[in-house]
């Protein structure tokens, strides 16, 4: 959805991933032929370098990078194998770093004697921030990406590079809606104070906003988009502490007059 929204706003978008089929579907859905697909495993440095070099050769510049690749699986922490932990860290942390470093150094910082071009880098992470039981590996990876974003926003400010982390809560993605039973999906929505899942379009609008001039002063921030899920579990007020209208009950106070 983010790629389609950026293309609709007039950007030329390059989407990449390991499998060509979903990429081509995105390209086919984009308006005006402003989207192209490139197969790339972001965990492999040589593939990342080839991707970035090819984009620069064809288009001459990269203004915005959105790192939204990620992967995790539900498992108790004691059952996570070293290989499983490395796999999650490699995709979420190392892949994000390789893409970020390649784009920043080759497209945004400027070469010797050149003025920095600057640009924007958005790293998609997860909410809630109080941890994801059953996903210790992913919790560690996402925390690493957020702190990497904060540090780079300071170090690379001199190049005009602005970095933000977008902490996404529960969204009605194809994966969530098709991978899990309906009761599970409904239960997840019930944990959100707004009592619904976010939509892919809502997240895409945030990405487009930050990519626009309106987002030029955002840098170093972790922007949470989760319907207040990070602040509270479930609806407010909870069952049993509201009157018939839904207003929270107030504690009776003694008259001290």
Q: Is residue 116 part of a domain?
A: yes
Cα-Cα-Cα-Cα dihedral of 152, 144, 147, 176, to 10°? 100
| CATH code where residue 141 lies | 3.40.50.720
Q: Is residue 146 part of a domain?
A: yes
Q: What is the per-residue burial (b if ≥16 Cβ within 10 Å, else e) of 138-163? A: bbbbbebbbebbbebbeebeebbbbb
Q: Is residue 19 part of a domain?
A: no
CA distances (Å), origin 48, targets 11, 21, 67, 132: 21, 19, 12, 30
Domain containing 145: what range? 66-225
Q: Is residue 1 part of a domain?
A: no
DSSP 27-42: HHHSGGG-EEEEE--T
Q: Is residue 39 part of a domain?
A: no
The C-alpha atoms of residue 119 and residue 159 are separated, in whole angstroms, by 9
Q: Is residue 100 part of a domain?
A: yes
On whether the CB atoms of residues 138 and 72 are closer than 8 A, the answer is: yes
Q: How many domains does the chain have?
A: 1
Task: Render each residue's pLDDT in the chain as its tens digit; 257 residues.
Answer: 899 999 999 999 999 999 999 999 999 998 767 899 999 999 999 999 999 999 999 999 999 999 998 877 888 999 999 999 999 999 999 999 999 999 999 999 988 888 999 999 999 998 878 778 888 999 999 999 999 999 999 999 999 999 999 999 989 888 788 877 888 888 888 889 999 999 999 999 999 999 999 999 999 999 999 999 988 888 888 777 788 887 887 767 676 66
Cα-Cα-Cα-Cα dihedral of 136, 87, 3, 21, to 10°? -130
On whether the CB atoms of residues 225 and 167 are closer than 8 A, the answer is: yes
φ, ψ dihedrals at 192, nearest 5°:
-95, 130
* Bridge partners of residue 121, in order along the sequence: 65, 163
Q: Is residue 57 part of a domain?
A: no
Q: Is residue 103 part of a domain?
A: yes
């Amino acid at each position: 959805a983010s790629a389609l929204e950026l293309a609709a706003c007039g950007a030329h978008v390059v989407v990449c991933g390991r499998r060509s089929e979903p990429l081509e579907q995105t390209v086919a859905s984009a308006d005006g032929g402003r989207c192209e697909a490139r197969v790339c495993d972001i965990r492999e440095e040589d593939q990342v370098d080839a991707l970035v070099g090819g984009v620069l050769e064809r288009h001459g510049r990269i203004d915005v990078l959105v790192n939204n690749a990620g992967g995790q699986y539900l498992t108790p922490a004691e059952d996570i194998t070293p290989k499983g932990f490395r796999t999650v860290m490699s995709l979420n942390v190392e892949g994000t770093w390789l893409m970020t470093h390649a784009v920043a150094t080759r497209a945004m910082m400027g070469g010797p004697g050149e003025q920095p071009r600057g640009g924007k880098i958005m790293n998609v992470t997860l909410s809630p921030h109080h941890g994801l039981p059953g996903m210790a590996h992913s919790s560690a990876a996402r925390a690493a990406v957020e702190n990497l974003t904060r540090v780079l926003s300071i170090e690379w400010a001199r190049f005009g590079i602005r970095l933000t982390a977008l902490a996404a809560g529960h969204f009605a993605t194809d994966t969530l809606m098709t991978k899990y039973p309906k009761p599970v999906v409904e239960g997840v929505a019930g944990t959100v104070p707004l009592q619904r899942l976010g939509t892919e379009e809502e997240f895409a609008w945030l990405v487009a906003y930050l990519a626009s001039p309106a987002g030029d002063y955002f840098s170093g921030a972790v922007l949470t988009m989760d319907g207040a899920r990070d602040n509270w579990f479930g609806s407010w007020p909870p069952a049993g502490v509201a009157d018939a209208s839904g207003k929270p009950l107030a504690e009776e106070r003694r008259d001290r007059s």
